[in-house]
Amino acid sequence: MKLQWIPSTTLSLLRTVQWVGRQRELKDASLQQAIQPAVRSITTRLINASIDPNLVWEFMVDEIVAQDSDVDLSPALCEIALIRGGHSDLQSDQTALAIFRSLETCQRAFTTRSPRLADQLRLRYAPLKQAYESYGPGLVRSVGKAIWNGQPPTDWWPSRVSVHAVTPIAHGAAGASGQQASVWIEAVLTDMDPQVPEWLRLVYQLTCMAITSHTRTHNSSSGTRTNSDTATGESGGSSELPWTTAIIPLILSEANEAGMINSQTLPIEKAMSMWQSEVSPSQASVVQRWWEATGFSTQPTPVALKQLSAALRANDSSPSSTNFHTT
């Protein structure tokens, strides 16, 4: 699996607009002030059309991540995201054009402050790329083998993956496309936590991408309908089983055993808080106990996933502790 690194200026812009649209603060207060009116105009227009702005941003990001280059914004891209978000086809072109013009206003402000953003992103992702090339391929192979009991399908990992490097605004974040073999990751210069290096976040997203592709293909052939993933890094997995949660301790364990990280206790809670959104300490404790008690070591992967799923549901409905039993 070869990675094609892309300094994604368009995705950096969209994530910044998305961030402000969710009423979060940018470090650059002057940029926030400059784009706030245009972002507010987009949000108002979407709400008036009975469309959830968060969904549109997620789908717009997903459309960009699905590309294998740093594509330009266009009314067509905006219209696709609108239709995916539930907008009527009859007036989607007019709404898309209005949103595109507002985004152009944001882009001018963004470009004025970072006229050489692509070059900056290349410099910023260089340490992450080097770390992944040193450790990632071997870990990716071992993770695939662990999931599939030593024999992953030949098409489990795609031959090539696009990695969109974007401006960091969330102190480290990443996501995977729900459509193509593509991921995105914030180009941070240093690890947010020495116990959970950023190249592991990339391995996690690559594994999520493989899971999404596999379950989509499997469910399509079997006629099962699933919710589409998005590329924001904040949505759930591609099936009801907690794949994207279960692989966190697996990745950490494989990395620890190979000497790629050094930890007496796997930093599961830290990794979950960094790689997933809205994770409670109690959920992390459930995953920790599940991994220590059984994990994938004593039973087939589907059985282990169902067991973790039941434990997480029990935790959500009851404060009592969860015991695990092998089958």
Query: What are 327's two structure tokens?
Result: 């089958």
Q: Which of 260, 232, 249 is nearest to 291 (CA)?
A: 249
Each residue's pLDDT tens digit, 266-297: 999 999 999 997 788 899 999 999 999 888 87
Each residue's pLDDT tens digit, 206-233: 999 999 888 876 665 555 444 444 443 4
pLDDT range class, residue 322, cuts 50, 70, 90: very low
Q: Residues of 238-266 as b/e, b for ≥16 C-beta within 10 angstroms?
A: bbebbbbbbbbbbbbbbbbeeebbeeeeb
pLDDT in the model for residue 226: 44
- Helix, strand, coil shares of the chain, percent, nearest 5, are 55, 5, 35
Q: Which of 4, 18, 6 is nearest to 231 (CA)?
A: 18
Q: Is the pLDDT of residue 153 over 60?
A: yes
pLDDT in the model for residue 218: 63
Q: Which of 188, 212, 145 is nearest to 274 (CA)?
A: 188
In angstroms, rounded to a whole number, what is the distance separating the alpha carbons of residues 42 and 136? 40
pLDDT range class, residue 264, cuts 50, 70, 90: confident
DSSP, residue by residue, 195-209: TB-HHHHHHHHHHHH
Mean pLDDT of 156-174: 94
Q: In this structure, are residues 51 and 91 in contact, taking their beta carbons and an 8 Å threshold? A: no
pLDDT in the model for residue 221: 52
Q: Does 235 or 132 have the greater pLDDT score? A: 132
Mean pLDDT of 304-313: 93
